Structure 1
Amino acid sequence: MNPLARIGTLKLKLGLVIVLAILVTLVTMLVAARLGLRLRWGALVALTLSLGSVQLVAHGMIAPLRAMARAAEAMARGEHGQRVVEPGRDEVGQLAVAFNTMAAELDSLDRARRDLVADAAHELRTPISVLRAQLENAVDGVQPADLPALLEQTERLGRLADQLLDLSALEAGGTTLTRRAFPVADLVAGCDVTRAELPDGLHVRGDPDRLRQVVANLVENGRRHAPGAPLVVRATARVAGGVRIEVEDHGPGLPDGEAERVFDRFARADRSRSVPGSGLGLAIARSIVELHGGVIHAEAVAPHGCRMVVDLP
């Protein structure tokens, strides 16, 4: 019970508790004097009633702090689903709101960590299984090792490890950008595209290596989902400044509700289709774009296909 829950500041609550203690003491002393009680007995009764009333009121103020302390101890043990009751509008109530927000974010991060471990283990399982089967057959003399296949799976493991380290550095803010202005045409150098619509003289400012990595990842993603289909890269100057880069394929497109999720780590737009790749390319592209202060999104192309749009400042 918190009779002072409607009061908006802790300072005012403490002031009211002090005034209450004084009033209880004065009233008790006056009643004791009228009843003819000795001063010491009146003082003792006044002290007892004052402490009792203050304890009753203060309990409602302290209970949320004790609840937060217990919840914090549980969270330290890894129980991130803890929440506390928000007792009011004062500083303790604001602290409870902040605590619940922090707990929700920690819970979300913990789930993301578990999902990342599970997804990484799933991606590692396939090449490791192939390597183990090939090596076991070679050791048992069933058939000689297929060295090209072993090399392919080893390179796949290496790419996955490099991408995980790259994404970790990007998300942790440990990547330094070397910004300079350069022709936007440099972004598609070495990319397997059907057509590049890049205006002459259009420049973009950023880290050339990182932005080329963005376009390369988007092109590779389009090629995986639409092998053999036309793939177009175009760039335009934005009215508000900056550059818009689009990578458009004519594959099966995105299922409903998947436009944002495809940029998550290890995401698959359609898990029923066997599409090669680690599922990290688009997540890395988004991190690089956001590191440049830009945004990236996916949109459908009629009648079918997908367009990845990057807006850079």
Structure 2
Amino acid sequence: MTSPVADRGPEHLAQRAGSGDEEAPRARRRVPERLDVRPLDRFRSFKVKLAILVGVSVTVAALLTQVSIRAGIEPLLALPLVVIAALFSTQLLARGMTSPLREMTAAARAMSRGDYSAPVRATSRDEVGQLASAFSVMAAELEETDRMRRDLVANVSHELRTPVAGLRAQLENLVDGVTEPDPAALEVALNETERLSRLVDHLLDLSRLDAGVVELDLEQVELTPFLHEVVDAAALASGGRDVRWIIEVDPPDLVVDADAARLHQVIHNLLQNAARHSPAGGRIHVAAARTDRDDGVRLDVHDEGPGIAWEDRSRVFERFQRGGAADSSGGTGLGLAIARWAVGLHGGTIEVLDDPRDDTAREGRSSLIRVVLPDPPPTT
């Protein structure tokens, strides 16, 4: 049974196109191919390599000493030859044992200057080779972290600059007497202030996400009144956009164990996103029901906008990603990242599903996002 459809009258996300602040990942420098014989690389232990190195050097020195004695070569002449031969054999066998250490030293110095492209080759399987492999992984992660930091600064600066500029212009007009302080002018200033407030709230949520200090206050949430409340808030926040809100809960008395505040945040972010990208007169469906396997509750939000491309379906849940195309809808690119975090706190999943509209599905785009919250484990 389905609850009466709530049809309320008027009341995509794209990746940052870039403001020139983003830098393309630096390509790894290619090392020219050359003959590089490393006879001890097959051994997995550095201690074994040292033992072989010492043994071979001593053996070579002893054999050459014996040969020089039998050949009647003067000791003063034979000794330098024996030492040179022993050093040559040592150098030949030791080739590659410490080169990763030298490469890591050079790479670390380059990283201190912000260059993460210095190569570190790991051809051996011993402890030094494992260290070189771990160093390369660390360098790649540091490069990605540094890129994300630069992107974060650039995107936050861009997002803050837009409402601040609008608010400043409006206030300057009021102060200079260009605009009368009527309700319409004050409403513009209020909208820009609220946009700033939303961005700050999102950034605070991200800081809580990174700190991992958020705890859930689980309770049984009745979804029918809960979704009506969230839709009311989303309709108010959408600024009276010409969209229709449709709520369907099956069964009408469906409940879910969740943190009401966090779940409200998830659905509200999804609805705001849907409202921004819906065409005039479009419909936004919010549906709740038990999962097919009856092991949880699914919540679907579906709008009639252009949808998210197939290749962007996983990226849209990352920070400051907007589905691959820039827009001027006023979104921060943080809503879906925060929604994924909040859903993850509940042990649930959030994903973009194939669009039920055939024409959109054929184009590989979808406007259907599904949240699945699992049932809590039984208490014993």
Q: Distance in 1 between matches of 2:367 and 2:275?
A: 11
Match of 2:69 among 33, 39, 62: 33
* Structure 1 residues 3-18: aligned runs within 5 Å: 3-18=39-54
* Residue number in structure 2 paired with 1:21: 57
Worse-matched range after superposition: 82-91 or 212-221: 82-91
Query: Match of 2:264, SS?
Result: helix
Aligned amino acid, residue 312 of structure 1: L
Q: CA deviation at 1:40?
A: 7.1
Matched, 1:118 2:154: yes
Q: Distance in 2 between matches of 1:237 and 1:312?
A: 9
Worse-matched range after superposition: 271-280 or 154-163: 271-280
* Residue number in structure 2 paired with 1:278: 332
Contact 1:85/1:96, CA 8 A, preserved across alignment: yes
Q: Distance in 1 between matches of 2:206 and 2:311?
A: 24
Query: Match of 1:61, SS?
Result: coil
In the TM superposition, what whole-angstrom CA distance separates every residue of 1:247-284 from its partner, at most 9, and x where no partner exists? 22233222342222222223223746542332211111
Contact 1:171/1:287, CA 8 A, preserved across alignment: no
* Residue number in structure 1 paired with 2:307: 253
In the TM superposition, what whole-angstrom CA distance separates every residue of 1:34-87 from its partner, at most 9, and x where no partner exists? 123466765554344323422343242111111011101221232233331222
Contact 1:249/1:307, CA 8 A, preserved across alignment: yes
Q: CA deviation at 1:190?
A: 0.9
Contact 1:202/1:237, CA 8 A, preserved across alignment: no
Contact 2:106/2:118, CA 8 A, preserved across alignment: no
Aligned amino acid, residue 302 of structure 1: R
Q: Distance in 1 between matches of 2:230 and 2:220?
A: 20
Match of 2:229 among 184, 190, 206: 190
* Residue number in structure 2 paired with 1:98: 134
In the TM superposition, what whole-angstrom CA distance separates every residue of 1:212-234 from its partner, at most 9, and x where no partner exists? 21122112222222254142222
Match of 2:215 among 167, 176, 184: 176
Aligned amino acid, residue 301 of structure 1: P
* Residue number in structure 2 paired with 1:307: 368
Q: Which has the higher helix share?
A: 1
Aligned amino acid, residue 224 of structure 1: R
Q: Distance in 2 between matches of 1:204 and 1:45?
A: 85
Worse-matched range after superposition: 107-116 or 175-184: 175-184
Q: CA deviation at 1:200?
A: 5.4
Matched, 1:71 2:107: yes
- Which TM-score applies when normalising by structure 2? 0.73
Aligned amino acid, residue 102 of structure 1: M
Q: Distance in 1 between matches of 2:255 and 2:176?
A: 59
Contact 1:231/1:250, CA 8 A, preserved across alignment: no
Q: CA deviation at 1:180?
A: 4.4
Higher relative contact order (CA 8 A, sep 6+): 2
Q: CA deviation at 1:167?
A: 1.8
Q: Distance in 2 between matches of 1:186 and 1:92?
A: 62
Contact 2:349/2:373, CA 8 A, preserved across alignment: yes
Aligned amino acid, residue 337 of structure 2: A
Aligned amino acid, residue 260 of structure 1: S
Q: CA deviation at 1:120?
A: 1.6
Contact 2:160/2:196, CA 8 A, preserved across alignment: yes
* Residue number in structure 2 paired with 1:134: 170
Contact 1:80/1:103, CA 8 A, preserved across alignment: yes
RMSD (Å), alpha carbons: 2.6
Alignment: residue pair count: 313
Contact 2:249/2:289, CA 8 A, preserved across alignment: yes
Q: Distance in 2 between matches of 1:137 and 1:201?
A: 52
Q: Distance in 1 between matches of 2:130 and 2:99?
A: 15
Worse-matched range after superposition: 92-101 or 133-142: 133-142
